[in-house]
Amino acid sequence: MAATTLPNVFSGTRSTFRVCPVTTLKVDAAAERLIIWNAVTAILALTLGGTYALLVGLTRWPDIHLLPPAWFYRLLTGHGLNMLVFWIVFFEAAGLYFGACVLLNARLVGVKLAWVAYALMLVGAVMANVVILMGKADVMFSAYPPLEADPLFYLGYILFAVGAILVCCIFLATIVMAKVERRYEGSLPLAVFGLLTAAIIALFTLASGAVALIPTFLWRLGDVYGLAGFGQVDPGAYRVTFWGFGHAAQQINLSAMIAIWYSLATLTVGAKPVNEKLSRFAFFLYILFINLGSMHHLLVDPGIGTAAKFFNTSYAMYLAVLGSMIHAFSIPAGIETAMRRKGFNKGLFGWLLNAPWKEPGFAALMLSLFIFGFIGGASGVVIGAGQLNLSTHNTWRVTGHFHATVVGGTTLAFMGFTYYVIPLIFRRPLFGKFLVRWQPWVYGIGMIFVSISMIVAGILGTPRRHWDTTFTNAVIPVQLPSLTNLMLTLTGISVLIAVTGGLMYVVICVGSLFMKKREARALNPLDA
Amino acid sequence: MDKKHSGMETPGTVVLAFLLLIWMGFLYFGSWILLAQAWGIR
């Protein structure tokens, strides 16, 4: 194994790097350990969230209706928190260390602090999960007051967020030192620029989360322990600050996903962005406009004026969407240019038909692009408009939209990227290569049908976060169209397919951890 | 480069981009039509 040392500017010591035989990048040993630990923890969170997904999905399937009501809301809270927060942020932490250290050939600045951050995130995640399973936090991941949870739930959330802020600060320090110590030439690579965008958004996002969660934690602390003077939390004010955290957090996932899209396009077909300045500008648009666009979560809130609502969602949000439109063009265009240069020039789509679909990274990339673009992003732009939101708010149309974006888009892209991280960073060959080829397809197609059936059910009026949509024994009876039953059943069946895809991924990752360690032999994970 | 095309470097992607725009337009206006029907607007 080739190793090299490079001098550090301020401390006068030298850092040891191993040189990757496939990519020739220099890998800092401390960063590698942190990438591994954060990624493995992410997959544990995904497994837990995925198990809850199966149980919740089988409950909303009307003919099965598996869980009793309390457990449905309990595991739905656990599903939301484990998937939307813990899985994604632990994976992004691994991604930030990868981008700052491996892609820049740099050393990790503040190694001890990085482990403190990991410990905070782990303790926060475990605390929140335990409190949820104890039945003391049936409040959904959004935890709106006056819904009450145990103070330890909010404390877990806050500790996790503090750990995540530390990871972002370490990332920023590392890329600054990488520049100072001249570890790379020219500008930051585009993928690292995308991760930098994610880190910048993360800082103001998590600050907003702190403003939402700390007073709520104090309120519950005062309530539970009978302490006076800890105040109340205004539900409207909480919602504003929570969604300042909540939506911008999705934009972090979006920036990270797009950075991974560019990386996968380069890794699989050697694509380069057609106009790198434009791509960077598109990332910059996210930073400027996403917090304004977050107003789409608050369109039915009574305490906010219509001018603010309509400016933010019908003007400002579309500038963030413009960023996505630029990337949505740039990445396929980069792939097309690269494939045409390789000689696949036949007709309009010869470049696409002859692309390496057998490579799991490419399949994951294209499925993720398609699902995010055509299903998730498009439906999001539609339901984010003020007037339309009045009929879509709190229906399953919203759930279908964000399952397309976060699950079909971000999670699938992360899964595709994992298949490169395992041979190159974990330095173990992939377990179950016959599973690896098909996993993106099973998961992607499962999620396509989950999202579409949820959206149609929502259009027909199915509410979200609701145990029994037949409204049995309701004082005011509600009769949803009978087509809804079909849509809910289709969702249930599709959940089974998607969970199978998720299980395949977990089996591949866990199995690979037990394979014999050896250096990667090729870039294609199926040959490595 | 394939001379049969208009000289664009990425004609396939341009077609895909148009498909996306048409699809988004369909979703958007379809949603408005559904909303107008629900509100009884003719």
Burial tier of A19 (Cβ tally within 10 Å: 0-12, 13-18, 19+): middle
Looking at the complex, report in whole angstroms how far the Cα of residue A224 sits from the nearest Cα belonging to chain B.
45
Q: Hey, are the CB atoms on B17 and A352 less than 8 Å from each other? A: no
Kindly give the pairing relationship between strand A26-28 and strand A3-7.
Answer: unpaired
pLDDT at A230: 77
Establish if A9 touches chain B: CB-CB under 8 angstroms.
no
Element (H, E) at A386: helix A386-392
Comparing CB atoms, the residue among B17, B24, B38 nearest residue A391 is B38
The per-residue pLDDT for A361 is: 95
pLDDT band for position B1 (50/70/90)? Answer: very low
The pLDDT tens digits for A172-199 are: 999 999 999 888 989 999 999 999 999 9
How far apart are alpha carbons A165 and A120 in whole angstroms?
10
Q: In this structure, is the dihedral angle defined by the CA atoms of residues B5, B6, B11 and B17, taken in order, positive or negative?
A: negative
Q: Do B24 and A378 touch (CB under 8 A)?
A: yes
Show the tokens assigned to A248: 């911008």
Query: What is the reported pLDDT for A9?
Result: 66
Give yes or no for A322 touching B (CB within 8 A): no
Tokens representing residue A90 in the block = 């632990």
Tell me, what's the pLDDT at A229? 72
What are the tens digits of pLDDT across the range B11-26? Answer: 999 999 999 999 999 9
Rounded Cα gap, residues A154 and A124, in angstroms: 9
Q: From the centroid of its chain, how far is CA B14?
A: 12
* ipTM confidence: 0.84
Residues 6+ apart with CB under 8 A from A354: A339, A344, A346
A284/B contact by beta carbon, under 8 A: no
At A16, is the secondary structure helix, strand, or coil? Answer: strand
Looking at residue A298, what DSSP letter applies? G
B-chain residue closest to A371, CA distance: B20
Chain-chain contact of B20 with A373 (C-beta, under 8 angstroms)? yes
Question: How far is the C-alpha of A353 from the C-alpha of A250, rounded, in Å?
Answer: 32
**Residue A452 CB partners (closer than 8 Å, separation 6+):** A375, A400
Q: How far apart are CA A399 and CA A392, in angstroms?
A: 10
Span A432-490, pLDDT tens digits: 999 999 999 999 999 999 999 999 999 999 999 999 888 888 898 888 888 999 999 99
Residues linked to residue A463 through DSSP beta bridges, in sequence order: A395
Contacts for A161 with CB less than 8 Å, ≥ 6 apart: A124, A206, A209, A210, A213
b/e string for A442-463 if b means 16 or more Cβ within 10 A? bbbbbbbbbbbbbbbbbbbbbb
Q: What is the pLDDT of residue A231?
A: 80
Is-above-0.80 flag for pTM?
yes
Q: Residues of chain A whose pLDDT is less than 50?
A: none
Q: Which A residues, 449 through 478, put their C-beta within 8 Å of a C-beta on chain B?
A: 459
pLDDT of residue A1: 57
Q: Which pLDDT score, from 0 to 100, does residue A10 have?
A: 66
Interface check for B41 against chain A (CB to CB < 8 A): the answer is no
**Yes or no, beta carbons of B12 and A329 under 8 Å apart:** no
Mutate: best of B23, B31, B32, partner A, most A CBs <10 A = B31
